[in-house]
Structure 1
Amino acid sequence: MRGHLVVCGDTPLAFRLADELTTRYLQDVTVILPSKKRNHGPQIARLPRVKVHEALELNDEAFRDVNADLARAVALVGNSEVGNIHAALRVQELNPGARLVIRMSNTSLGARIRTLFNDCAVLSDGAMAAPSFVAAALGDPAPSHVRVAGRTLYVARRSDRPKTIICGLADTRRSEGNPRLLPDPHETANLVLAVADKTPRDPLSAHRPHHRPYAFLARNLRLVLNRRLMQVVLVLLAVIVLGTLALALSGGSSFSESLYLVLLDLAGAANPDTSLGGAAKATQVIVTLASLALVPAITAAVVDALVRARLAGPLALSEPISGHVVVVGLGGVGVRVVAQLNDLGVPVVCVEMNEDAVGVPLARREKLPIVFGDATRKETLRSAWVNTCRAVVTVTSDDITNLEAGLSSRDLKDNVRVVLRLFDDDLAGRVHRNFHIPVSRSVSFLAAPAFAAAMMERQIIGTIPVGRKVMLIADVPVAQGSALEGRPLSEANQRGESRVLAVGRRGGQHFDWEPQDGYLLVRGDRLIVLATRGGIGSVRARSIAPVPEAPWQPG
């Protein structure tokens, strides 16, 4: 069976990817998985045009059994990233010409890994799904932005005057459903692709809090001066007042002298005076002994106040805000959602249980408020000001936590927009219908189309819907001996079909976002290309090395 597709894994993404390839692209697919009876094995086995091969591990024997040496493309979408890389190396040895699509959450490592293979796309399902979560939180009808090479690009109207425009995207004035894509000159486009630079482009900006330093100080004092500490302070004041009065009346000293002696006694510096009367001596002894009891009580109360402030998280020491988005979970998906919301200028409050989560350094670097605590508890959600937020996005790795946090948010605010990440697609659908939560999304469902496109069209890293059409963003390497090697960059641009957005010279991680049309392309250059489906195919065909013809054999 030459030219077939192979998918490795029994994950939700493997199931959705196989379904996408068979139903949308009408391809024959072979799936390698450990068992038809575990995980998503039963669902995969029921798909039409899918052949299932059971193998406990992805070794050479398993790939030979499914004729991987004849496969057109192989997707490795298991949960083990090391296992995916190891299996990809096996496939390349068996079939150097096969396209490889590898699932990896670490995109920076993925960019390096892909250079080890002849024809490889390394994708993160979290990165692919994040724009949909962001769009759902903001109420956009469809994702209108994508993260590319460290930048968040978004679709804007030219009339909105975005600060940094990458290129003209489309002219939709004639027909919204059938826009003119990548018009030349690009100034004629009313829709443009722009760089998100944290400038607010959302009505949420109107809800940003006004800083009132006196109110801020009052709230901080209320947090630190808790009930226990206030009780100790009142007792201390009572001892000072009563001791001063008693010493002044019994010892014949002035009020100021009596206060001076009492404060010294409280500090442990009592000065015995045998000439004092009995009442004055008794007062001094009582004050001194009271100080011995009060010192540990004051210490305990202060420590308790500081611990409470620490456990309450940074947000407890800041002003209330409104109109923000609460993101629950700073894992692989959450960190991307937070980064894109922050780039778009949307105020964000993060909620996370684990202080070592991968997204915590980003949130701290961007000075975003974080509430550390259990998101299923209403106290934690109140600390994140859910009752005044615009949307709650729950993207932890646990379905129950996401669901409970979403429902608890609804209890605190009836009309809050809730975006749930649910691994189980069937559960997501039932939650949507029965709990009346308008948005519940599965990462595998959102990411599968991009993985399928990568298998069929290669190097797709993002999609942008424009009317009834879809623009693709691809990372295209220039191979040695290809038609583009040694040619000016302008030859990769095709009117209405493709446009180069950025160039990574000689495979480097740094991209030039203002490339010159006269720049001569060399092998190893990476092109970030915005194009139609046909345009991507054309650019890709000119970027790959020609296949050497087989030597002629006499008959």
Structure 2
Amino acid sequence: MPTVVPRLRSPLRGRLIICGDTPLAYRLADELSTRYLQDVTVIVPSKRRNHGPKITGLPRVRVHEAAELDDETFRAVHVESARAVALVSNSEVGNIHAALRVQELNPDIRLVIRMSNTALGNRIRTLFNDCAVLSDGAVAAPSFVAAALGDLPPSHVRVAGRTLYVAHRSDRVRNVVCGLADTRRPDGLPRLLPVDQGRANLVLAVADGTSRTSLAGPPVDYRPTTTFARTMRLILSRRLLQVVVALLGLIVVGSAVLSTGDGHGFTYSLYLILLDIAGAANPDPKLSAAAKVTQVIVTLASLALVPAITAAVVDALVRARLNGPLERLRDPISGHVVVVGLGEVGLRVVSQLHDLGVQVVCVEQNEDAVGVPLARRLGLPIVFGDATREETLRTAWVGTCRSVVTVTSDDITNLEAGLSSRALRDNVRVVLRLFDDDLAGRVHRNFKIPVSRSVSFLAAPAFAAAMMERQVIGTIPVGRSVMLIADMPIGAGSELDGRPLREANLPGEARVLALGRRGRPRFDWDLQEGYLLIPGDRLAVLATRSGIGHIRARTTGTSDPPSSPTPR
């Protein structure tokens, strides 16, 4: 008998639908229901497994149980009248399949799909009418990078035909668009978009092709040795070094014996010894007994020299090909970042640190981890071993590193690796990825470790904004906060319809970066605060998570879909 899927009692116009019982699904439902005050329906396989119980306890959230995301399930939750659907399960194939089903039932719906493969995601996006494809790992990685550097990474984002970047005001940057944040507060929490722009020590500026101060931190400090010496150390392995030392000893001893026993000078004796080593020894009955013994020993030793050198060179070439980057770890290094875990998040953190010019040493237990090929392609050293063991961390030179970022998928491994790193050096910066919020808070209070929250916590704002807004241009991490850049059209009859442009700015929450006037293809960056907004105008807005909701409420027209109440 076919399974009968119960339908919701009445169609819920404009309702948002989330598919999945993952941590991201829970965070996303919480973000939409508590910050945006939206009515949300979450489809889960079971209310009693995974994050089902937590999702069930959220306000304004209705949970629908369904074993499969088929047409009957989507009809049961009235997808034909929903505003947006987020597909955030761990199965990317399942997300794509479900998205195709949803579009067949509602061609105009907004789709937000979670995919870790961004290259495939860009192609998938073209299959749908209105779709955003996001990677939670890619969204969260900048926050881990920022925490690892203990400073502001040079973030870039493309907005309305211009490239914007974040920098310190002290870098004497040109073309500043606005003050971004004041990070010098005693409590350590940044004041975002301060009213007094002059107090912002972090600014958003337009890139004009000029060089600026690197914010990636100090370069790697290798022990002072020349390039020639490093090359020789690579070639001269321990075995070959022993052969060379023994040969040098023979040369010195043999030259001394010939010089003393037969009355030859030391230079002439050295000449004879070198010929003997080359295999050109000639018997000479007139030589003394000591000289004859020396010649025989040197000649026989030289026979083993050529194969020894050949074997050592071949061994060095093989090691250089298979394990070349690890040779750099033989010498003490400093100023680098140790990344523990080369999973989905780890590979993005490693890639961004490398792009910023920061030296990275990777630690991974599984040689088949998804980020291992990328690390090898970038030429980064990989230490394979258990990151909770001090021996493994010593191999990665944690004692002299800039920071340790633990981003494995296991809380205990991350915590133990972080504490082991602190045992090696008590003042090392440790950034932990922890899924359990309560554990994260207690670790921060008791161990004074700056904890970066889970990937789902960091990624949820971007997914929520993608569901609520048609054009989310990008995100900018500021410490543990995330700021969003969005393209907001002015709707007819909205609160900002006919109001001066200056009123669109909300101190501490939102600031207009550029204005796209109706009928004009380009955005205007030279803003006139007295300009009266009209329907069809577009605002490029930089905003906090709550600011995005406020701006949306003020730009939504009377003919647009019902806007949500102002988020808390």
Change (3 A) 1:266 1:42: farther
Match of 1:474 among 486, 503, 525: 486
Asked if 2 retains the 8 angstrom alpha-carbon contact of 1:457 and 1:536, the reply is: no
Cα drift, residue 234 of structure 1: 2.0
Which runs of structure 2 are paired with 1:51-70 in the superposition (5 Å)?
A: 51-70=62-81
Over residues 417-442 of structure 1, what are the superposed CA-to-partner deviations in whole Å (9 max), with x where a residue is unaligned? 21112344455445445655332421
Give distance in 1, aligned partners of 2:246 and 2:51. 65
Letter in 2 for 1:121: A
Give distance in 2, aligned partners of 1:471 and 1:290. 71
Letter in 2 for 1:79: N
Give distance in 2, aligned partners of 1:115 and 1:515. 30
- Give percent identity, aligned residues only: 62
Alignment coverage as a number of residue pairs? 507
* Aligned position for 2:333: 320
Which runs of structure 2 are paired with 1:221-260 in the superposition (5 Å)?
A: 225=236, 227-246=238-257, 255-260=266-271
Secondary structure (helix, strand or coil) at the match of 1:387 reads: helix
Change (3 A) 1:52 1:219: same
Give distance in 1, aligned partners of 2:146 and 2:278. 61
Over residues 128-176 of structure 1, what are the superposed CA-to-partner deviations in whole Å (9 max), with x where a residue is unaligned? 2223223333446xx898553496732644x65224534566999xxx9
Residue 29 of structure 2 corresponds to residue 29 of structure 1: no
Asked if 2 retains the 8 angstrom alpha-carbon contact of 1:349 and 1:384, the reply is: no
Which runs of structure 2 are paired with 1:61-80 in the superposition (5 Å)?
A: 61-80=72-91
Match of 1:438 among 450, 455, 464: 450
Give distance in 2, aligned partners of 1:274 and 1:356. 69
Give distance in 2, aligned partners of 1:340 and 1:14. 26
Cα drift, residue 335 of structure 1: 4.8
Which runs of structure 2 are paired with 1:134-533 in the superposition (5 Å)?
A: 134-139=145-150, 147-149=156-158, 153-154=165-166, 156-157=168-169, 160-163=171-174, 165-166=176-177, 192-194=203-205, 199-200=212-213, 205=217, 207-208=218-219, 214=225, 225=236, 227-246=238-257, 255-271=266-282, 282-301=293-312, 310=323, 313=326, 315-316=328-329, 320-322=333-335, 324-329=336-341, 331-338=343-350, 347-353=358-364, 358=371, 370-374=381-385, 376=387, 378=390, 381-382=393-394, 384-425=396-437, 427-429=439-441, 431-432=443-444, 435-460=447-472, 462=474, 472-474=484-486, 496=505, 499=512, 529-530=541-542, 532-533=547-548
Cα drift, residue 454 of structure 1: 2.4
Letter in 2 for 1:88: A
Asked if 2 retains the 8 angstrom alpha-carbon contact of 1:315 and 1:384, the reply is: no
Change (3 A) 1:248 1:179: closer
Asked if 2 retains the 8 angstrom alpha-carbon contact of 1:224 and 1:305, the reply is: yes
Asked if 2 retains the 8 angstrom alpha-carbon contact of 1:76 and 1:102, the reply is: yes
Letter in 1 for 2:548: R
Residue 52 of structure 2 corresponds to residue 41 of structure 1: yes
- Structure 1-normalised TM-score? 0.71
Alignment RMSD, CA only? Answer: 5.1
Letter in 1 for 2:91: S
Give distance in 1, aligned partners of 2:31 and 2:223. 53
Asked if 1 retains the 8 angstrom alpha-carbon contact of 2:222 and 2:334, the reply is: no
Give distance in 2, aligned partners of 1:137 and 1:460. 26
Cα drift, residue 414 of structure 1: 0.1
Give distance in 2, aligned partners of 1:402 and 1:37. 27
Cα drift, residue 122 of structure 1: 2.0
Match of 2:22 among 4, 7, 11: 11
Letter in 2 for 1:416: V
Give distance in 1, aligned partners of 2:360 and 2:71. 48
Secondary structure (helix, strand or coil) at the match of 2:304 reads: helix
Cα drift, residue 120 of structure 1: 2.2
Change (3 A) 1:297 1:70: same
Change (3 A) 1:166 1:272: farther
Change (3 A) 1:385 1:216: farther
Give 5+ residue unaligned stretches, structure 1. 484-490, 504-510, 518-525, 548-555
- Structure 2-normalised TM-score? 0.70
Give distance in 1, aligned partners of 2:76 and 2:258. 98
Cα drift, residue 408 of structure 1: 2.6
* Aligned position for 2:129: 118
Secondary structure (helix, strand or coil) at the match of 1:291 reads: helix
Give distance in 1, aligned partners of 2:182 and 2:248. 75
Cα drift, residue 77 of structure 1: 0.7
Match of 1:537 among 552, 556, 563: 552
Change (3 A) 1:400 1:220: farther
Cα drift, residue 75 of structure 1: 0.7
Asked if 2 retains the 8 angstrom alpha-carbon contact of 1:18 and 1:29, the reply is: yes
* Aligned position for 1:101: 112
Give distance in 2, aligned partners of 1:263 and 1:229. 19
Cα drift, residue 94 of structure 1: 0.8
Worse-superposed segment, 130-139 or 271-280: 271-280
Letter in 1 for 2:333: P
Give 5+ residue unaligned stretches, structure 2. 1-10, 184-189, 493-499, 528-537, 562-568
Give distance in 2, aligned partners of 1:178 and 1:287. 77
Cα drift, residue 76 of structure 1: 0.5
Over residues 222-244 of structure 1, what are the superposed CA-to-partner deviations in whole Å (9 max), with x where a residue is unaligned? 67655544332222222333444
Match of 2:98 among 87, 112, 118: 87
Give distance in 1, aligned partners of 2:357 and 2:515. 26
Secondary structure (helix, strand or coil) at the match of 1:110 reads: helix
Asked if 2 retains the 8 angstrom alpha-carbon contact of 1:327 and 1:394, the reply is: yes
Letter in 2 for 1:240: I
Letter in 2 for 1:96: P
Over residues 377-402 of structure 1, what are the superposed CA-to-partner deviations in whole Å (9 max), with x where a residue is unaligned? 54554455432334222224454543
Give distance in 1, aligned partners of 2:224 and 2:182. 48
Asked if 1 retains the 8 angstrom alpha-carbon contact of 2:222 and 2:331, the reply is: no
Change (3 A) 1:44 1:136: same
Over residues 180-204 of structure 1, what are the superposed CA-to-partner deviations in whole Å (9 max), with x where a residue is unaligned? 77x9xx99998741268884465x7
Asked if 2 retains the 8 angstrom alpha-carbon contact of 1:325 and 1:346, the reply is: no
Letter in 2 for 1:135: A
Change (3 A) 1:235 1:448: same
Cα drift, residue 63 of structure 1: 1.8
Letter in 2 for 1:460: V
Give distance in 2, aligned partners of 1:180 and 1:434. 32
Asked if 2 retains the 8 angstrom alpha-carbon contact of 1:10 and 1:34, the reply is: yes
Give distance in 2, aligned partners of 1:239 and 1:209. 41
Asked if 1 retains the 8 angstrom alpha-carbon contact of 2:137 and 2:455, the reply is: yes
Letter in 1 for 2:430: V
Change (3 A) 1:295 1:403: farther
Secondary structure (helix, strand or coil) at the match of 1:102 reads: strand
Give distance in 1, aligned partners of 2:233 and 2:296. 34
